[in-house]
Chains A and B, each alone.
Chain A
Amino acid sequence: MTNASVATSPPATGYGAALVRALRSFTLLRESWVGMIGAAIVLFWVGVAISAPVLSPFDPNATVMPLQKPGAEHVGGGTFWLGTDHLGRDILSRIIWGSRTVLYYAPLATFTAYAVGIVMGLAAGYHRGWVDDVLSRISDIILSFPVLVLYIVIIATIGASGVNIVIAITFASGPGIMRIVRGLVLDLRNRDYVAAAQTRGEGSWRIMLVEILPNARGPLIVDACLRMGYVIITIGVLGFLGLGLPPPDPDWGGMINETRQMAMAFPHMTVYPCLAISSLILGFNLLADGVREISLRD
Chain B
Amino acid sequence: MASRSEGPVLEIKDLNISYYTRAGEIPAVIDFSLSVQRGETIGLVGESGCGKSTVAMAIMNYMGANGGIKSGEILFKGRDIVRMTGDELRRIRGSEISMIYQEPFAALNPSLTVANQLMEVPLVHEAIGRQEAYARAVQMLTDVRLPDPERIMKAYPHQLSGGQQQRVVIAMGLLSNPDLLLLDEPTTALDVTVEAGIVKLIAEISRKFGTAQIYISHNLGLILETCDRVFVMYSGEVVEEGTINSLFTWPRHPYTHGLFGCIPLPTANKNAAPLQPIRGQLPLPHERPRGCNFGPRCDYFVGGHCDAGKVAMEYVSDAHDSDHRVRCARFRDIDHSAYLKPKNVREAAEVGENVLEVRDMQKYYELRDASIGAMISGKGVTYVKANEALSFSARRGETVAIVGESGCGKSTFAKVLMGLETATGGEIRHEGRDIGNVSVHDRTPEQLASLQMVFQNPSDTLNPSHTIGHQISRVIKKFGVETDKNKIHERVMALLDTVKLPRDFYFRRPRQLSGGQKQRIGIARAFAGNPSMVIADEPVSALDVSVAAAVTELLMDIQREHRTTLLFISHDLSVVRYLADRVVVMYLGQIVERGSTEEIFDPPYHPYTEALLSAVPIADPEVTKREIVLEGNLPSVTNPPAGCPFVTRCPRRQGAICEQQRPPVQLVSEGHAIACHIPLDELRAVEPVIRVPSEDERAHA
Contact mask A191-210 → B, CB, 8 Å, 1/0?
11101111111100000001
Cβ of A97 to closest chain B Cβ, rounded Å: 40
Contact mask B412-426 → A, CB, 8 Å, 1/0?
000000111000000
List the one stretch of B7-15, B315-323, B462-470 in contact with chain A.
Answer: B462-470
> Does A7 have its Cβ within 8 Å of any Cβ on chain B?
yes
Contacts of A201 in B (CB 8 A): 440-441, 443, 445, 448, 478
List the one stretch of B38-46, B382-390, B499-507 in contact with chain A.
Answer: B499-507
> Does A76 have its Cβ within 8 Å of any Cβ on chain B?
no
- A193 and B504 contacting across the interface, CB-CB below 8 Å: no
- A7 and B503 contacting across the interface, CB-CB below 8 Å: yes
- A193 and B445 contacting across the interface, CB-CB below 8 Å: no
Give the complex CA separation of A197 and B451 in angstroms: 13
- A1 and B503 contacting across the interface, CB-CB below 8 Å: yes
The B414-465 residues at the A interface (CB cut-off 8 A) are 418-420, 440-441, 443, 445, 448-449, 451-453, 455-457, 460-465
Please report whether the interface of chain A is mostly helix, strand, loop or mixed according to DSSP: helix
Q: What total of chain A residues lie within 8 Å of the partner, measured CB to CB?
A: 24
> Does A2 have its Cβ within 8 Å of any Cβ on chain B?
yes
Cβ of B560 to closest chain A Cβ, rounded Å: 22
> Does B525 have its Cβ within 8 Å of any Cβ on chain A?
yes
Given contacts A7-B493, A11-B506, A198-B440, contact A193 B420 (CB under 8 A): no
> Does B497 have its Cβ within 8 Å of any Cβ on chain A?
yes
- B479 and A200 contacting across the interface, CB-CB below 8 Å: yes
Contact of B464 among A7, A10, A210, A215 (CB under 8 A): A215
> Does B485 have its Cβ within 8 Å of any Cβ on chain A?
yes
Cβ of B439 to closest chain A Cβ, rounded Å: 10
Contacts of B478 in A (CB 8 A): 200-202
- A10 and B485 contacting across the interface, CB-CB below 8 Å: yes
Contact of A192 among B419, B456, B497 (CB under 8 A): B456
Give the complex CA separation of A266 and B525 in angstroms: 70
Q: Which residue of A lies closest to B528 (CB)?
A: A200
> Does B489 have its Cβ within 8 Å of any Cβ on chain A?
yes
Contact of A200 among B448, B461, B506 (CB under 8 A): B448
Contacts of A22 in B (CB 8 A): none
Please report whether the interface of chain B is mostly helix, strand, loop or mixed according to DSSP: helix
Contact mask A153-193 → B, CB, 8 Å, 1/0?
00000000000000000000000000000000000000111
Given contacts A6-B506, A200-B448, A202-B478, contact A195 B455 (CB under 8 A): yes
- B455 and A3 contacting across the interface, CB-CB below 8 Å: no
- B497 and A196 contacting across the interface, CB-CB below 8 Å: no
> Does A132 have its Cβ within 8 Å of any Cβ on chain B?
no
- B465 and A199 contacting across the interface, CB-CB below 8 Å: no
> Does A129 have its Cβ within 8 Å of any Cβ on chain B?
no
- A6 and B504 contacting across the interface, CB-CB below 8 Å: yes
Cβ of A51 to closest chain B Cβ, rounded Å: 36
Contacts of A193 in B (CB 8 A): 460-463
> Does B486 have its Cβ within 8 Å of any Cβ on chain A?
yes
Q: What total of chain B residues lie within 8 Å of the partner, measured CB to CB?
A: 42
Q: Which residue of A lies closest to B465 (CB)?
A: A214
Contacts of B448 in A (CB 8 A): 199-201
> Does B190 have its Cβ within 8 Å of any Cβ on chain A?
no
Give the complex CA separation of A298 and B509 in angstroms: 14
> Does B475 have its Cβ within 8 Å of any Cβ on chain A?
yes
Give the complex CA separation of A192 and B538 in angstroms: 13
Contact mask B102-145 → A, CB, 8 Å, 1/0?
00000000000000000000000000000000000000000000
- B475 and A200 contacting across the interface, CB-CB below 8 Å: yes
- A11 and B469 contacting across the interface, CB-CB below 8 Å: yes
> Does A211 have its Cβ within 8 Å of any Cβ on chain B?
yes
- B440 and A10 contacting across the interface, CB-CB below 8 Å: no
Give the complex CA separation of A64 and B464 in angstroms: 59
Given contacts A11-B506, A198-B420, A202-B478, contact A192 B493 (CB under 8 A): no
Cβ of B121 to closest chain A Cβ, rounded Å: 34
- A195 and B453 contacting across the interface, CB-CB below 8 Å: yes
Give the complex CA separation of A197 and B511 in angstroms: 19
- B463 and A1 contacting across the interface, CB-CB below 8 Å: no
- A199 and B419 contacting across the interface, CB-CB below 8 Å: yes
Contacts of A198 in B (CB 8 A): 420, 440
- A196 and B453 contacting across the interface, CB-CB below 8 Å: yes
Contact mask A210-223 → B, CB, 8 Å, 1/0?
11001101000000
Give the complex CA separation of A201 and B441 in angstroms: 6
Q: Which residue of A lies closest to B447 (CB)?
A: A201
Residues of A within 8 A of B (CB): 1-3, 6-7, 10-11, 191-193, 195-202, 210-211, 214-215, 217, 298
Residues of B within 8 A of A (CB): 418-420, 440-441, 443, 445, 448-449, 451-453, 455-457, 460-467, 469, 474-475, 478-479, 485-486, 489-490, 493, 497, 502-504, 506-507, 511, 525, 529
Of the A-B pairs whose beta carbons lie under 8 Å apart in the complex, a sample of 23, sorted by A's number, is A1-B497, A2-B502, A2-B503, A3-B502, A6-B506, A6-B507, A191-B460, A192-B457, A192-B460, A192-B461, A195-B418, A195-B455, A196-B455, A198-B440, A199-B419, A200-B449, A201-B440, A201-B441, A201-B448, A210-B466, A214-B463, A214-B465, A215-B463
New A-B pairs, 10, CB < 8 Å, besides A191-B460, A195-B455, A214-B466: A2-B503, A6-B506, A7-B503, A11-B469, A193-B460, A193-B461, A193-B462, A197-B463, A200-B449, A217-B465
Top 10 A-B pairs, shortest CB-CB distance? A214-B465, A192-B455, A192-B460, A193-B463, A10-B489, A192-B461, A3-B504, A2-B502, A201-B448, A191-B460
